[in-house]
């Protein structure tokens, strides 16, 4: 018999690629990678595991991929609630960030986000925030996969003072994590409108040279599009296309205001879209045209956005909401069927972030990033279709086990490498200081 590190025997395994739900199968893990997915009886006859995990009522899926978040913003959760996007940013979030954001803020906020995400079955997150080196280090410490955002901006922040410094720090960080098994990098920008043509052209060269994703908030509001037209004579995505940046490397976050021409451009150039339904609804931005994007062949992934704009980091909820919104806006109940919703929360996110060769599906050879959901509890039972039960009835509280690169990150609902009580204590301390400082949003 062959020795493997772990053998996970589950009632169902959803591989995602290929799109299959296998009953009474097992997942064999060795050296952090998936060795095989095969019937339980065959696995028991073939493998001698160092650890065997039996999950008789569970659905085993690839670890969820949160394709877009601002991890450290968990410390701003609940602040500036009830404001539309522009006021939320200018009156609520940006003043708080100018006052508080530094390395300790990012460390503690990212730890809180990682704890929350792992407990919700998320094994990988694409981050966009200041001090990305801190977020990457915290992910490594917690044993979580991360695509750290290399921030590019024209305006000074706590992380960098000018555009040349942003590029220098970003390239240093890219080199530092070039071959890391858990951390990869992407270039990120708050949006295209505020970046000069010279900066975008410089980005294009680096994106091509490094084969790196470029993640941007795009077409989130009508105001953003109008401002770009006034300043640059084109919509944001059309301007990026004009500068050679609309390609399979481009990841358009939100895309709420994508019209027919934008969708055609997305399909023609192969750019990706990250759909953040909860945040878009909460801030009154609207609903992305996901059915039309999918019909055109555009890869659409799911993101939670930051906890300040979505309140929590829960991809199970995002799957359900994406499915319901697609059905309600298109009149087609199958526009985002459960299997597609799961793909959007796993492999589609990995594809958008350029790591589909490593994660996103339970494919032999990939890293063993795995989540187990207990479908033997209310309100999932009785189960007719396990993926439909997860998307339609499941919740983050269904998560029992998480592995990242074959290592336990969550066991029996308990974090393996993070002290949850310490994480909460540090986060609570930040909120106490913020309230004592009387820093908060104003409403006019």
Q: Which domain holds residue 288?
A: 64-352
The verdict on 237 and 376 lying in the same domain is no
Task: Please tell me whether the peptide bond between 382 and the residue prior to it is cis, using omega within 30 degrees of 0.
Answer: yes
**How are strands ordered across the β-sheet holding 300-302?**
64-69, 122-127, 145-151, 183-189, 214-218, 250-254, 272-275, 300-302
Looking at residue 443, its pLDDT comes to 44
Task: Please tell me whether the peptide bond between 70 and the residue prior to it is cis, using omega within 30 degrees of 0.
Answer: no
Looking at residue 86, its pLDDT comes to 85
DSSP conformation letters of 360-375: SS--TTSB--EEEEE-
The verdict on 220 and 312 lying in the same domain is yes
The verdict on 396 and 296 lying in the same domain is no
Last residue of a domain, one of 326, 352, 378: 352
- Evaluate if pTM is beyond 0.85: yes
Domain contains 439: no
Q: Looking at residue 341, which CATH number applies to its domain? A: 3.20.20.140
The verdict on 49 and 86 lying in the same domain is no
The verdict on 46 and 112 lying in the same domain is no
Domain contains 357: no
Domain count, the chain: 2
* Rounded Cα distance, 237 and 241, in Å: 6
The verdict on 395 and 384 lying in the same domain is yes
The verdict on 173 and 54 lying in the same domain is no
Last residue of a domain, one of 329, 352, 375: 352
pLDDT in tens, 297-322: 999 999 999 999 999 999 999 999 99
Measured from the Cβ of residue 140, the count of other Cβ atoms closer than 10 Å reads: 16
The verdict on 277 and 401 lying in the same domain is no
Domain contains 213: yes
The verdict on 346 and 375 lying in the same domain is no
The verdict on 30 and 86 lying in the same domain is no
DSSP category for residue 345: T
pLDDT tens, the chain, 444 aa long: 999 999 999 999 999 999 999 999 999 999 999 999 999 999 999 999 999 999 999 999 999 999 999 999 999 999 888 888 888 899 989 999 999 999 999 999 999 999 999 999 999 999 999 999 999 999 999 999 999 999 999 999 999 999 999 999 999 999 999 999 999 999 999 999 989 999 999 999 999 999 999 999 999 999 999 999 999 999 999 999 999 999 999 999 999 999 999 999 999 999 999 999 999 999 999 999 999 999 999 999 999 999 999 999 999 999 999 999 999 999 999 999 999 999 999 999 999 999 999 999 999 999 999 999 999 999 999 999 999 999 999 999 999 999 999 999 999 889 999 999 999 999 999 999 998 886 555 444
Q: Looking at residue 400, which CATH number applies to its domain? A: 2.30.40.10
């Amino acid at each position: 018999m062959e020795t493997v590190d772990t053998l996970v025997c589950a009632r169902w395994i959803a591989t995602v690629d290929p799109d299959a739900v296998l009953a009474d199968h097992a997942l064999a893990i060795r050296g952090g990678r998936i060795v095989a997915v095969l019937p339980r009886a065959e696995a028991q006859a073939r493998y001698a595991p160092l650890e065997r995990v039996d999950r008789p009522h569970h659905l085993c899926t690839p670890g969820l991929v949160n394709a877009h978040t601002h991890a450290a913003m968990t410390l701003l959760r609940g602040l500036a609630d009830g404001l539309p996007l522009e006021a939320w940013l200018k009156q609520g979030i940006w003043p708080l960030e100018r006052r508080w954001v530094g390395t300790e803020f990012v460390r503690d906020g990212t730890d809180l986000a990682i704890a929350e995400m792992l407990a919700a079955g998320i094994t990988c997150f694409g981050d966009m925030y200041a001090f990305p080196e801190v977020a990457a280090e915290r992910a490594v410490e917690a044993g979580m996969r991360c695509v750290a955002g290399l921030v590019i901006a024209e305006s000074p922040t706590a992380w960098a003072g000018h555009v040349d410094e942003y590029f220098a720090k970003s390239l240093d960080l890219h080199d530092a994590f070039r071959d890391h098994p858990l951390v990869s990098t992407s270039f990120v920008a708050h949006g295209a409108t505020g970046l000069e043509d010279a900066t975008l052209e410089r980005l294009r060269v680096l994106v091509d040279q490094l084969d790196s994703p470029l993640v941007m908030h795009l077409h989130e509001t009508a105001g953003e599009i109008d401002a770009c037209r006034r300043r640059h004579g084109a919509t944001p995505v059309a301007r990026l296309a004009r500068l050679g940046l609309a390609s399979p490397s481009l990841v358009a976050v939100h895309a709420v205001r994508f019209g027919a021409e934008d969708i055609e451009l997305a399909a023609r150039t192969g750019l990706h879209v990250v759909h953040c339904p909860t945040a878009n609804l909460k801030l009154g931005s609207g609903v992305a045209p996901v059915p039309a994007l999918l019909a055109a062949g555009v890869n659409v992934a799911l993101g939670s956005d930051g906890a300040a704009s979505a309140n929590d980091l829960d991809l199970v909820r995002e799957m359900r909401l994406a499915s319901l919104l697609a059905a309600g806006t298109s009149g087609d109940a199958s526009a985002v069927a459960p299997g597609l919703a799961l793909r959007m929360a796993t492999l589609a996110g990995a594809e958008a972030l350029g790591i589909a060769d490593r994660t996103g599906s339970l494919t032999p050879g990939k890293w063993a990033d795995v989540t187990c959901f207990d479908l033997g509890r209310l309100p999932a039972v009785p189960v007719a279709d396990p993926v439909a039960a997860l998307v339609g009835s499941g919740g983050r509280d269904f998560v029992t086990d998480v592995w990242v690169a074959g290592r336990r990150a969550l066991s029996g609902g308990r974090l393996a490498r993070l002290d949850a009580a310490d994480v909460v204590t540090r986060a609570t301390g930040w909120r106490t200081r913020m309230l004592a400082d009387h820093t908060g949003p104003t409403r006019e």
